[in-house]
Amino acid sequence: MATYVLIPGAGCDPWYWHPVADDLRGRGHEVVAVDLPCEDPAAGLAEYTDTVVDAIGDRTDLVVVAHSLGGFTAPLVCARIPVDLLVLLEAMIPKPGETLADWWAATGQAQARREQAERDGRTVGDLWDDFLHDVPPDLAAGLRERDREQSDGPSHQPWPLDAWPDVPTRVLIGSDDRLFPAGFMRRVARERLGITPDEIPAGHMPMLSRPAELAERLESYRTALSGE
């Protein structure tokens, strides 16, 4: 069986992975939901990477799943230790030398978000609207209760790799994502990795809104790679 390593997005407690983590454990896998030092302004990409590697310990057969901001950390983990598969889940895809702060303008995210809202016939809401529009109310309330401050610690450090690590990589996006619209993510994944993403009918938080579908998709990637 595999070890799934779940790397969170900005300001997120590992709790928000629990529906999909429970599903994966029910399939016999080990799950490591990483608690990043997101509130520590002294913690940057190196410290985030160290935290993930330390949480993994001596586990093997690793499937690393990175959500949103986790896309900046996950490839650094893959450059440090052997990883069987990397899944970018609605994740930011950095370029060598790019900072997190620069990523937004470099990719055109704000314009893409605004244009998607116009196509949907709505105004751009706050981030909670973008995050939680398709999440069940009880889980949405739980996420709000666990909201953590995301420090600027990793924001101004150039992404340190010269190239994407040599690890099988899949990109999975939400067809209803309001923060990172599907068309925007298709373009970024194609331009930066040469990958055509797969899609799941979900917003930005499929681990809460579509956990069973997400677990099934992750398992399909793993079994396709392993030949099971």
Amino acid making up residue 177: D
For residue 92, give both structure tokens: 């930011």
Q: Which of 108, 79, 101 is nearest to 154 (CA)?
A: 101
Query: Which tens digits make up the pLDDT trace of 7-55?
Result: 999 989 899 999 999 999 999 999 999 999 999 999 999 999 999 999 9
Strand order through the sheet with 30-33: 30-33, 3-7, 62-67, 85-89, 169-174, 198-200
Query: What is the pTM assigned to this prediction?
Result: 0.96
- The yes/no answer on whether domain 3-226 falls in CATH 1.25.40.80 is no
pLDDT band at 112 (very low <50, low <70, confident <90, very high): very high
Query: Residue ranges of the domains in the chain?
Result: 3-226
Three-state DSSP state, 167: coil
List, for residues 131-190, the tens digit of each pLDDT value.
Answer: 899 999 999 999 888 889 899 999 999 999 999 999 999 999 999 999 999 999 999 999
Record the tokens describing residue 190, joined without a space.
């194609």
- What CA–CA distances, in Å, run from 207 to 11, 39, 91, 93, 218? 15, 22, 13, 19, 11
